[in-house]
Structure 1
Amino acid sequence: MTLRNILLHPDPRLKKVATPIAAVTDEVRRLADDMLETMYDAPGIGLAAPQIGVTERMLVMDCIKDENASPRPMVLINPEITWESEALNVYEEGCLSIPEHYAEVARPAEVEVTWTGLDGKIQRERFDALWATCVQHEIDHLNGRLFIDHLKPLRRQMITRKMQKLKRELARA
């Protein structure tokens, strides 16, 4: 397993629509392992392949925050939302590609998602609460969207300017 670098906004690769994965190969499994290790190390609860510069439709997530509970690492290949509730939930979202910036985003409270698992089989699950927010946030990444794209333009521009400044500072370090 290899820790991967997480791209920081603004980066044009974060705005690209990811391509479907044709088959679950050993390379895809290695990518999944790297993504889980990178997500846990960050630390985060979700990570999409485009965030590490891979424009393929895969995400990983684990929304178990209780240290006494067993982790539940999930790998979703070619995920697709097949149903969403009319009811909305508002969560304060953050993103590993936009560190230290958070904003409230309203999304469907529940979603049903189908995806291909690492075993190559189609899976389906209904997610709610933080899991629903996380899976929608990560699928947004696969579609070239960031959580700040859900914000008003002025707030989005302010965060983008701060991220540009951070990237300049990191480049000088």
Structure 2
Amino acid sequence: MQTSTGTPRPITRYGTPVLHRPCAEVTDFDDALAQLVADMFASMYAAHGVGLAANQIGVDARIFVVDCPDATGTHTVATVINPVLHLPEHRELVTDSEGCLSVPGQHADLARCATATVTGFDLHGQEIRLDGTGTLARCFQHEVDHLDGLAYVDRLPTKLRKQILAASAEHPGVGAGTAQDA
């Protein structure tokens, strides 16, 4: 786990409006953006997560950060601005336990594509492409979902979603995440 020069911010919990609508495109690549990204990394690390979308700290912007291993165990530390998710035409699904810093203390099995690619921009406005396998691919899908206004629990059957949200409401939140929370 890396350290960050940013300031940790509170994690926005499921039910907060900013988590349930598509986020705004980023147009300014400036010092304020760099500070936001530093704060995002600090927030993710403070909560023991592997990924964080801007709306998870209450910011309406299409940005996510990750510090996450791929299927080989190699960690990718990255910032993706205005990400576009690309999934393979022939999708191999993998079911694994997934959690979310915005739904603290809870996990559920969810099928996701085994591989995923994101394109977008780095902090300097340069085009980037990242290919992910394993947990990294899951993280890309999870974070782009957040930026589109979805949480992983929104992909679960209604009864299970309600059980998880009720249990999460009893959980204290920040700092209680696990290595699989994003």
TM-score by length of 2: 0.84
Q: Which runs of 5+ in 1 are unaligned?
A: 168-173
Provide the rounded CA distance (Å) in 2 between the counterparts of 1:130 and 1:164: 26
User: Mean Cα displacement is larger for which, 144-153 or 8-17?
Assistant: 8-17
The residue number in structure 2 matching 1:170 is none
Stretches of structure 2 lacking an aligned partner (at least 5 in a row)? 1-5, 173-182
Conserved? CA contact 2:69–2:135, under 8 Å: no
- Residue of 74, 78, 82 corresponding to 2:82: 78
Task: Answer whether contact 2:87 2:113 (CA < 8 A) is retained.
Answer: no
Which SS does the other structure have where 2:98 is aligned?
Answer: strand
Q: What is the total number of aligned residue pairs between the two structures?
A: 164
Separation of aligned partners in 1, 2:100 and 2:135: 14
Tell whether 2:22 aligns with 1:24.
no
- In the aligned structure 1, how far is the partner of 2:45 from the partner of 2:77? 10
* Residue of structure 2 aligned with 1:155, choices 154, 160, 168: 160
Residues 1:99 and 2:104 aligned together: yes
Alignment partner of 1:10 is 2:15: yes
Is the CA contact 1:36–1:73 (under 8 Å) kept in the aligned structure 2?
no
- CA contact 1:10–1:160 (8 Å) conserved in 2: no
| Higher CA-based Rg | 1
RMSD (CA atoms): 1.9
Shift of 1:71: 5.8
**98-107 vs 5-14, greater mean Cα deviation:** 5-14
List, as ranges, runs of 4+ consecutive aligned residues in structure 1 with deviation greater than 3 Å.
69-72, 163-167
More helix by share: 1
The percentage of counterpart residues that share the same residue type is 35
Query: 2:47 aligned to 42, 64, 74, which one?
Result: 42
In the other structure, the counterpart of 1:52 is 57
Structure 2: distance between partners of 1:63 and 1:163: 24
Counterpart residue identity of residue 73, structure 1: V
